Structure 1
Amino acid sequence: MNAGKIYTLFVLCFLCSIIILSTEGCKEETSLHSGAASTTPNRDQLNDSRFFQFVTRLTSLPVDSRKEYLHNFLEANPESPIIEKDSLACFYFYGKASSVLINGDIQSGWSNPDSMDMIGCGDENFFYKIYSLPSDTRIDYQLIVDGKTITDPRNATITPSGFGYHSQCAMPFFIPNSIKDFRSNIGRGKVDSLFFKSKKTSVQQRMIKVYTPAGYEQTSNIPTLYVNDGYKAIEYCSYVNVLNNLIADKKIAPVIVVFIQYQDNDETFFIEKPEDYITAICDELVPLIETRYKTSSSPRNRAISGISAGAHISILTVLERPDVFLNAAGQSTTITTKLFDAINKSSSNESIRKSLRFYFDVGRFDLISGGLDNYTFLYANQLIDKEMTKVGINHTFKIYNDGHQWANWRERVDKLLIYLFGI
């Protein structure tokens, strides 16, 4: 081969290597999702939809002929939403109303209600909306009928939340987690109550509930988990059932769990001014618990967790006070620059960095703003995952097809407990 051909071949190989490297870099970036997930069905999905064919036919009928055709449909399909082909969720409402909106997790995280399409049927109207969703999606929603917010009258599945009751839409491949169900045939832990008053006057006094596992009297040096907004976690996540079941199944070690009651001004501490709250937890509450319960005194055996803003303060507490906590879990974490700054600070100390462990997850239909640069929660959490990966902090990060709700978080409490205390 002559020199000219060798040179040409070298140039071509060099250019190809640049293209490959550029493509790999773009692939990493495009895997992040900065906007809200699309739920608009495509034309092929609509063409294959029996529900869409029904509303098309209903619309084409004269108004005085629609009611009989509609009633036949309602008799055959009395529940909403109608799920088709594992991917379409078809919501509908029928009654005396002039306007019906649907609002929930898939409406930009409850921030942008959708108007349902209306078909006049005499003295009553038929309203509908069709969405394309991943096959394992679970979301909350409500209807707004002539300005009044209600649960869906044709949906019997109601879920709890911090803001009243919601209706649930669950796609076919969503499987409810039975680990939260009560079992009568296993050993059960005990829950005590304590009063906690911090020396920090800015931190409001509050009640604390403490879970001790079955067989506590025969055990010592027990790992401990502190749960921010813990009273709601007990109520909405069936947390005590989950603990009893996981311990009985030998999926986690026996653990003491400290459920911290939320107070009205905690949001300020969790996001804007965390210093006093972190000090109260680390230097007052932890010592109080250790004087009363048979806990392990090692930071490796202490964890702290929370949801949303409570997840932010949990992760920040570990990053700022690794002398007390080395493990944290956050669900739908509010992300701020404080977390990035603390990660960079912690990563400069190799022994601390290698000891840290984090679990966090987020919903594909989580809130679309709040925290870091008003990014979506999905995108901001992906950025934290990327930053932790870059500096070499041990962590696991999951994205689920759901939103910013207790009914979602409760489905994966076992995941974070197994990550933190699995055996």
Structure 2
Amino acid sequence: MKLYLTILLLILVATVNAQNQFQQFINYVNSLPDPTSKQTAVDSFVVYARTQGIPFITGDSANFIYRGSVSSISIAGDFNGWTPNWNMTNLSGTNFWYYSKVFESDARLDYKFVRNGNDWILDPENPRQVSGGFGPNSELAMPDYIQPWEINYRSNIPHGTIVNKTIYSINVGAYYQLRIYLPPGYDSTSAERYPTVYFQDGFEYITLGSAVNVIDNLIDSNKINPVIAVFVRPNNRNEEYAGSVRVQYRLFFVNELVPYIDASFKTIASADKRLVLGDSFGGNISALISYNHPEVFGYCGLHSGAFWPNNYEAYNLVVNGPVKNIKWCSVWGTYEGSLPANMRNFRDFLLQNNYQLSWEERHEGHSWGLWRATIDNMLIFFSPFEPNSIESDDKSLLNEFYLEQNFPNPFNPSTKISWQSPVGSWQTIKLYDLLGREIETITDGYYEAGYHFISYTAGSKLPSGVYFYKLQVGNFSETRKMMLLK
């Protein structure tokens, strides 16, 4: 009987329309006559679901499942403000609980289960986890979400070194711990100098954001120029980033920390070679620092910048003040309460006032899962790779054509397309839809041998979707896929 039910269930699951797959399973179990048959069907389904991934995705729906003897179980996560009010339904006659919800095809969200009203646990059927400020969370990743390759440690590439320092601030009256990243090949005796990136919540950007891995990987893959990174650990982040110590902390940053780093390491002491960035309140203080001191920081990065403290002080300072020589990079998630509306308004103001801006809105929440996957946005915007010459060793010889993956991807509305050419020649890049129909020519002209990149901005009439871009040089051609999300 058990084998028969298993085979029947698998046939059912394999043949129904994917959109209705899970509901068909629920209906099937409810039609069975006794608890034993129902539990057998549930067991078989879970075995199958594990091979597909849990939460079990059907079409645009994520189906959360749990098996166990509980009086109640609910779900809390980025999607409901971490309030455990998504109550799972028990499948009658079994220990199987479920909850189904529609999400965007590229959504990525953190969540946990709450058993019996107060027992917060990870999803025991989901191996995917993301570290957060309050410990690990389970991860829901819909089918079109692209996992960030650059956060992973790779043993076969050159790695930078970390130097630990402590600095005393007269302005704040406190010591601050620092970790300074020095790129591969850094030599304190050489003439070469480097752009500098300053991270608020610096130690968390290392442990939760995998920032060191990101920098190593971007340098190795010729996405960015080598940089020095300064990771600053706050003592009381709420007060220093948004509260009563924010002015003193800002002055510490520009009058004490930056001069110390410039005197101690091989930096380029110029505002257009410095980026300050941070997450949440860290974005708030980064905006205050850069706008008040554009002569020190010419770039500002906002990871879900929380601008609400002090009656939107940072927001109003920028919006109501004079335009300054600052370039901005901003990333936020649609599942962040009122923050997306604020960041869209801020984006619109910057664009209308001709600020240089790179921005991205993702279907994610206020989490390190979002921030760690978009550190590369900030760094590539700040210091994109610009080779000085074509070297002749095994290191960077351009002996073949190569079309790189566009970045960012997915994108809205702009992205960068990079490629390399071993010879000078006429080179063309065209855009096509899923049916192979040509949409437009992105570039068509003569390029010298070397590394090239071009910015592409999708027109207002181009709908969201998957497209292909193709490099054509004589008989050589290479095609890659890109996704536009509006």
TM-score using structure 2 length:
0.70
What are the equivalent positions in structure 2 for 1:175-214 lying under 5 Å apart?
A: 175-201=146-172, 204-214=174-184
Quote the residue 1:420 is aligned against.
382
Q: Write the deviation string for residues 124-176 of structure 1: whole angstroms up to 9, x where unpaired.
A: 53211111111111111100011200001111112211111111111111121
Separation in structure 1 between the aligned mates of residue 69 and residue 320 of structure 2, nearest angstrom: 60
Separation in structure 2 between the aligned mates of residue 47 and residue 75 of structure 1, nearest angstrom: 17
- State whether structure 2 residue 67 is matched by structure 1 residue 94: yes
Separation in structure 2 between the aligned mates of residue 89 and residue 345 of structure 1, nearest angstrom: 43
Quote the residue 1:248 is aligned against.
220
What are the equivalent positions in structure 2 for 1:324-403 lying under 5 Å apart?
A: 324-336=296-308, 337-344=312-319, 346-348=321-323, 353=324, 355-366=325-336, 368=337, 376-403=338-365
Separation in structure 1 between the aligned mates of residue 270 and residue 331 of structure 2, nearest angstrom: 26
Quote the residue 1:238 is aligned against.
210
Q: 1:75 aligns with which of 34, 38, 47?
A: 47
Q: Tell me if the contact between 2:197 and 2:227 (Cα under 8 Å) persists in the aligned partners.
A: yes
Q: Tell me if the contact between 2:88 and 2:98 (Cα under 8 Å) persists in the aligned partners.
A: yes
Deviation at 1:120, TM superposition (A): 3.2
Separation in structure 2 between the aligned mates of residue 387 and residue 133 of structure 1, nearest angstrom: 29
Q: Secondary structure at the match of 1:160?
A: strand
Quote the residue 1:106 is aligned against.
79
Greater fraction helix: 1
Deviation at 1:401, TM superposition (A): 1.5
Task: Give the number of equivalent residue pairs.
Answer: 360
Deviation at 1:407, TM superposition (A): 1.9
What are the equivalent positions in structure 2 for 1:274-353 lying under 5 Å apart?
A: 274-336=246-308, 337-344=312-319, 346-348=321-323, 353=324
Separation in structure 1 between the aligned mates of residue 243 and residue 178 of structure 2, nearest angstrom: 23
Q: Secondary structure at the match of 1:207?
A: strand
Quote the residue 2:98 is aligned against.
128
Q: Secondary structure at the match of 1:120?
A: coil
Deviation at 1:201, TM superposition (A): 3.8
Larger RCO, structure (CA 8 Å, separation 6 or more): 1
Separation in structure 1 between the aligned mates of residue 364 and residue 34 of structure 2, nearest angstrom: 38
Gaps of at least 5 residues in structure 1 are 1-45, 369-375
Separation in structure 2 between the aligned mates of residue 255 and residue 183 of structure 1, nearest angstrom: 18
Q: Write the deviation string for residues 229-268 of structure 1: whole angstroms up to 9, x where unpaired.
A: 01011112221121112112222111111000132x2212
Q: Tell me if the contact between 2:327 and 2:357 (Cα under 8 Å) persists in the aligned partners.
A: yes
Q: Write the deviation string for residues 23-48 of structure 1: whole angstroms up to 9, x where unpaired.
A: xxxxxxxxxxxxxxxxxxxxxxx994
Quote the residue 1:3 is aligned against.
none
Deviation at 1:98, TM superposition (A): 0.8
TM-score using structure 1 length:
0.80
- State whether structure 2 residue 112 is matched by structure 1 residue 151: no
- State whether structure 2 residue 198 is matched by structure 1 residue 226: yes
Aligned residue type for 1:292: S
Separation in structure 2 between the aligned mates of residue 60 and residue 269 of structure 1, nearest angstrom: 60
Deviation at 1:63, TM superposition (A): 5.7
Separation in structure 1 between the aligned mates of residue 289 and residue 156 of structure 2, nearest angstrom: 38
Distance 1:61 1:214, change over 3 A: same
Q: Write the deviation string for residues 80-120 of structure 1: whole angstroms up to 9, x where unpaired.
A: 210112x111001111001001111112x324531112223
Separation in structure 2 between the aligned mates of residue 340 and residue 408 of structure 1, nearest angstrom: 22
Quote the residue 1:8 is aligned against.
none
Separation in structure 1 between the aligned mates of residue 62 and residue 40 of structure 2, nearest angstrom: 24
Aligned residue type for 2:293: R
Quote the residue 1:22 is aligned against.
none
Q: Tell me if the contact between 2:172 and 2:248 (Cα under 8 Å) persists in the aligned partners.
A: no
Greater fraction strand: 2
Q: Secondary structure at the match of 1:188?
A: coil
Q: Tell me if the contact between 2:210 and 2:372 (Cα under 8 Å) persists in the aligned partners.
A: yes
Deviation at 1:333, TM superposition (A): 1.1
What are the equivalent positions in structure 2 for 1:13-92 lying under 5 Å apart?
A: 48-62=19-33, 64=35, 65-78=37-50, 80-85=54-59, 87-92=60-65
Q: Secondary structure at the match of 1:401?
A: strand
Q: Tell me if the contact between 1:319 and 1:346 (Cα under 8 Å) persists in the aligned partners.
A: no
Q: Write the deviation string for residues 343-364 of structure 1: whole angstroms up to 9, x where unpaired.
A: 145435xxxx2x2100011011
Quote the residue 1:140 is aligned against.
110
Separation in structure 1 between the aligned mates of residue 18 and residue 197 of structure 2, nearest angstrom: 51
Distance 1:63 1:205, change over 3 A: farther
Q: Secondary structure at the match of 2:27?
A: helix
Aligned residue type for 1:275: V
Q: Write the deviation string for residues 350-407 of structure 1: whole angstroms up to 9, x where unpaired.
A: xxx2x210001101112x2xxxxxxx11111111112212322221221011111112
